[in-house]
Amino acid sequence: MSEDTRTQETKDDHKQRDSETLRMLGGFLSILAFIVLIAAFFQDPGHARVVNGAAGVALFCLGAGMFAFGLKLRNSLR
C-alpha cells in the first residue's frame, strides 16, 4: 500500500504565502498606478484626463491597501 507523503501545511504556512502574494500584487498595482497617473498628467485636458486620473488613484488605493494588509499578515506571524 502507498502512504500519503504530502507535506502537512499549517495555518502559518498559508498566512505566510498569502502575505507574500498580497505584498507582491500590491506593489505591482501601485507601480502600475504611478504609470497611469504620469500618463494622465501628460494628456490633453478633457474627460480622458479625469478618467485616467481617477483610475490611477483607485489603482493606487487598491495596491496600497493590499500591500498594507500583506504587511499586517506578516507581522501577525512574528
Tell me: the pLDDT tens digits for 24-69? Answer: 999 999 999 999 999 998 888 889 899 999 999 999 999 999 999 9
Q: How many domains does the chain have?
A: 1
Angle at CA of residue 44, ends 40 and 50, nearest 5°:
45
Look at residue 67 and tell me if it is in a domain: yes
What are the Cα distances from residue 3, in Å, to 10, 36, 73?
20, 53, 34
Q: Which residue has the higher pLDDT, 11 or 19?
A: 19
Residue 66's pLDDT is what?
A: 95
Q: Report the first-to-last Cα separation within the chain, whole angstroms.
A: 40
Residue 64: domain span: 12-77
pTM listed for this prediction: 0.78
d(CA 61, CA 7): 37
Look at residue 5 and tell me if it is in a domain: no
Q: Which residue has the higher pLDDT, 35 or 12?
A: 35
Q: What share of the chain is helix, strand, coil (3-state, %, to 5)?
A: 80, 0, 20
